[in-house]
């Protein structure tokens, strides 16, 4: 049976929420940006008047102001964006229980089983568009198709406030002329590889022999060939579907450059605390620790190491990450950002071999200490218990990497 899939994209979501809260900003060039004083000064979302003047997601604030001197810059309010996102999802769930979020501002809906109740997929799309505008004061662009990838192309095809149907009868006319970057999962690096062999449009990609693509790109070449031809069988997950978490990570661009080992060690301690706390919330331990580093010239690298035993000890994560950093970095220039990732997660209640070695006993003690700190912070706030080391640098020590983490829109990561 042919499926009916919608992709709903809230237009300029963060900026639209801010304009709804502040009516005086409607129609003006607005950008929601990270804090410049914390060196997070990039554009997260821009309103359409700002976009028409050249302001783009991921652009530095100073650069955006060169394109648009009248730009109104606002800090993000993630709590409000999450609240509005939940309200939008409540509307979607009145039409189907198969709602798969794609960030805060996007979602796929499988309405195959809903057409008998609410009408055709286009009629359902119109109802959702009207309700979001009336109830939340936002506009959405909706793609209507028989699979997720093509529905996403439809929602991107015309913005803002549009509904685009792309199905077998009009697929070639609508999709083939689009640039290859429009296809889901084609990022800047993949686009460069495709354009290097003459694949500048989705049509050229669709007509290219799959053997050529797999020879150049590997397995992903075959996947992209199928997507370009409008073939995608991946299901829309139910609202209550919980995907398995394979890793937990956190990274931070620091308020100032890190210039010595002590600075990096302090940041790794803070980040490891947040990663280990998240693992305990998930009831997991990690078997691999990874550290990521980006220097002041924006050169980056990652290194990882397998642990001798699963752990959610912040002390062990920080020690392992710092050891990897020391082995790999030669201080050619200051460090701008660092990150810690715990990968290869296993359940916390998984059976492990008992040990009498001091290192294993030390791990168990640190995990109990971390758990006690979690309970105190949940009751009295993050800064009620801190390591003595963080007091050595008040600027870095005030960072709360667990609660102050900013959720960027997916478009930001796609470049």
pLDDT one-digit tens code per residue, 371-411:
999 899 888 888 888 888 888 888 787 777 766 654 444 43
pLDDT value for 282? 86
Which has the minimum average pLDDT: 208-212, 252-256, 317-321? 252-256
pLDDT value for 242? 46
pLDDT value for 247? 85
When the pLDDT of each residue in the chain is averaged and rounded to a whole number, the result is 88
Query: Can you read off the two tokens belonging to residue 154?
Result: 């439809």
Within 10 Å of residue 45's Cβ, how many Cβ atoms? 29
Calpha distance 319→180 (Å, rounded):
44
The CATH number for 86-133+141-228, chosen from 1.10.150.20, 1.10.1200.10, 2.40.30.10, 3.50.50.60, is 1.10.150.20
pLDDT reading at 284 higher than 50: yes
Q: pTM of the entire structure? A: 0.71
pLDDT value for 412? 35
Task: Tell me the residue length of the chain.
Answer: 415
Superfamily assignment of 247-410 in CATH?
DNA polymerase, Y-family, little finger domain (3.30.1490.100)
pLDDT value for 414? 39
Which has the minimum average pLDDT: 232-236, 317-321, 377-381? 377-381
Going from the C-alpha of 242 to that of each of 17, 75, 349, the distances in angstroms are 28, 31, 19
The percent of residues in the chain predicted with pLDDT above 90, rounded, is 63
3-state secondary structure the chain: CCCCEEEEEECCHHHHHHHHHCHHHCCCCEEEECCHHHCCCEEEEECHHHHHCCCCCCCEHHHHHHHCCCCEEECCCHHHHHHHHHHHHHHHCCCCCCEEECCCCEEEEECHHHHHHHCCHHHHHHHHHHHHHHHHCCCEEEEEECCHHHHHHHHHHCCCCCEEECCCCCHHHHHCCCEHHHCCCCCHHHHHHHHHCCCCEHHHHHHCCHHHHHHHHCHHHHHHHHHHCCCCCCCCCCCCCCCCCCEEEEEEEEEEEECCHHHHHHHHHHHHHHHHHHHHHHCEEEEEEEEEEEECCCCEEEEEEEEEEEECCHHHHHHHHHHHHHHHCCCCCCEEEEEEEEECCEECCCCCCCCCCHHHHHHHHHHHHHHHHHHHHHHHCHHHCCCHHHHHCHHHHCCCCCCCCCCCCHHHHCC
pLDDT reading at 327 higher than 70: yes
pLDDT value for 26? 92
Give the active site residues.
106
pLDDT value for 202? 96
Higher pLDDT, 399 or 239: 399
90-113: per-residue pLDDT in tens?
A: 999 999 999 999 888 999 999 999
pLDDT value for 184? 86
pLDDT value for 406? 43
148-186: per-residue pLDDT in tens?
A: 999 999 999 999 999 999 999 999 999 999 999 999 889
pLDDT value for 253? 82
> Where in the chain are the domains?
13-79, 86-133+141-228, 247-410
Residues 48-53 have a mean pLDDT of 94
Class of domain 13-79 (CATH, top level): alpha beta
Query: Can you read off the two tokens belonging to residue 252?
Result: 């931070």
The candidate with the shortest Cα–Cα distance to 64, out of 106, 29, 13, is 29
Residues 118-143 have a mean pLDDT of 96
pLDDT reading at 64 higher than 60: yes
pLDDT reading at 41 higher than 80: no
Residues 183-205 have a mean pLDDT of 91
Cα torsion angle, 326, 330, 334, 335, sign: negative
């Amino acid at each position: 049976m042919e499926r009916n899939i919608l992709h709903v994209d809230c237009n300029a979501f963060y900026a639209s929420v801010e304009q709804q809260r502040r009516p005086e900003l409607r129609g003006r060039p607005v950008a929601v940006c990270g804090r410049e004083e914390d060196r997070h000064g990039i554009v997260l979302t821009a309103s359409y008047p700002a976009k028409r003047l050249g302001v783009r997601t991921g652009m530095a604030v100073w650069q955006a102001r060169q394109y648009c001197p009248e730009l109104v810059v606002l800090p993000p309010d993630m709590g409000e964006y999450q609240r509005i996102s939940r309200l939008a999802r409540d509307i979607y769930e009145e039409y189907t229980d198969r709602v798969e979020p794609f960030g805060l501002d996007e979602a796929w809906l499988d309405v195959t089983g809903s057409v008998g109740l609410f009408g055709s997929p286009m009629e359902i799309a119109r109802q959702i568009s009207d309700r979001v505008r009336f109830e939340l004061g936002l506009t959405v662009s909706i793609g209507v198709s028989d699979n997720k990838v093509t529905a996403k192309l439809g929602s991107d095809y015309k913005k803002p406030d549009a509904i685009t149907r792309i199905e077998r009868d009009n697929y070639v006319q609508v999709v083939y002329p689009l640039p290859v970057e429009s296809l889901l999962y084609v990022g800047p690096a993949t686009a460069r590889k495709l354009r290097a062999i003459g694949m500048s449009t989705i049509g050229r990609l669709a007509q290219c022999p799959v053997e050529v693509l797999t020879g150049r790109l590997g397995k992903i070449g075959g996947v992209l060939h199928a997507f370009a031809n409008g073939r995608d069988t991946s299901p829309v997950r139910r609202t209550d579907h919980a995907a398995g978490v394979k890793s937990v990570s956190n990274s931070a661009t620091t308020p100032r450059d890190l210039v010595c080992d002590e600075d990096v060690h302090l940041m790794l301690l803070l980040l490891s605390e947040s990663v280990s706390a998240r693992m305990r919330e998930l009831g997991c331990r990690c078997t691999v620790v990874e550290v990521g580093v980006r220097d002041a010239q924006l050169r980056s690298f990652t290194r990882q190491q397998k642990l001798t035993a699963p752990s959610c000890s912040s002390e062990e994560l920080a020690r392992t990450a710092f050891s990897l950093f020391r082995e790999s970095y030669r201080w050619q220039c200051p460090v701008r950002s660092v990150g810690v990732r715990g990968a290869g997660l296993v359940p916390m209640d998984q059976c492990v071999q008992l040990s009498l070695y001091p290192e294993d006993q030390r791990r168990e003690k640190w995990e109990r200490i971390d758990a006690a700190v979690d309970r105190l912070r949940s009751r009295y706030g993050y800064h009620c218990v801190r390591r003595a080391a963080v007091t050595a640098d008040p600027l870095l020590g005030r960072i709360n990497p667990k609660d102050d983490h900013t959720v960027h829109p997916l478009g930001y990561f796609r470049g």
